[in-house]
Amino acid sequence: MDLGLGVGAIGSGHQFSSGGGGYAGTGLGGELAVDLLVGRGFFRFGAYGSWAPFRARSTPELAVETLTLGLQAQVLFAPRALWRPYLSIGSGYRALIVERDGGRRSIYDGFQVARARVGLEYAFTSGASMGPVVGMDLTVFKDRRSEGTSTEMLNIVAPYYFAGISGRLDVLAK
């Protein structure tokens, strides 16, 4: 079983509202993954989660957080090599939490339709590796819940990106 931890830039370039406002921005965030190795180490299957706070570029008075939970599959192209390239695909849930001045909070609920990561791990040992990773995902936000108002139905498609460093540790290595 692998435990993965990533740190890097997480953000979106999507503008949710018209007139130049929106929640586009980038923040320093983290990802956590728990995966099982199968197929002689060529495949990993598991779960992931991420979190990142950021300030909206066009409306800096907004505090924005995004978090995800989902399932993923990875292909390791050279699982026993010193340098291990991989491709990860997944899907899951994304929440976008927006807090305005005065404390009014809105929560956007979305389905992370497609999530892809490409990375290159350097194997320090057979059970520990680290390296750069980049990725994108596409989220469809279906509703917004705001304090003091009813739930608003949406159909907003928003791209997100991640670029950073990822490390893995085989917690059951012999």
Domain ranges of the chain: 2-170
Closest CA to 93 of 67, 117, 59: 67
CA distances from 1 to 37, 128, 139, 152, 172 (A): 6, 12, 28, 41, 6
Task: Check if the beta carbon of residue 114 is closer than 8 Å to that of residue 87.
Answer: no
Would the pLDDT of 143 be above 60?
yes
Is-contact 82 124, C-beta < 8 A? no
What sign does the CA torsion over 165, 118, 129, 50 have?
positive
pTM of this prediction?
0.86
pLDDT in tens, 45-100: 999 999 998 876 667 677 888 999 999 999 999 998 999 999 999 999 999 888 87
Amino acid at 162: F
CATH class, domain 2-170, is mainly beta
Range in 15-19, 55-59, 156-160, 170-174 with the lowest mean pLDDT: 15-19
Q: Which residue has the tokens 């892809």?
A: 116
Please give the Cα distance from 15 to 3 (Å, whole number). 34
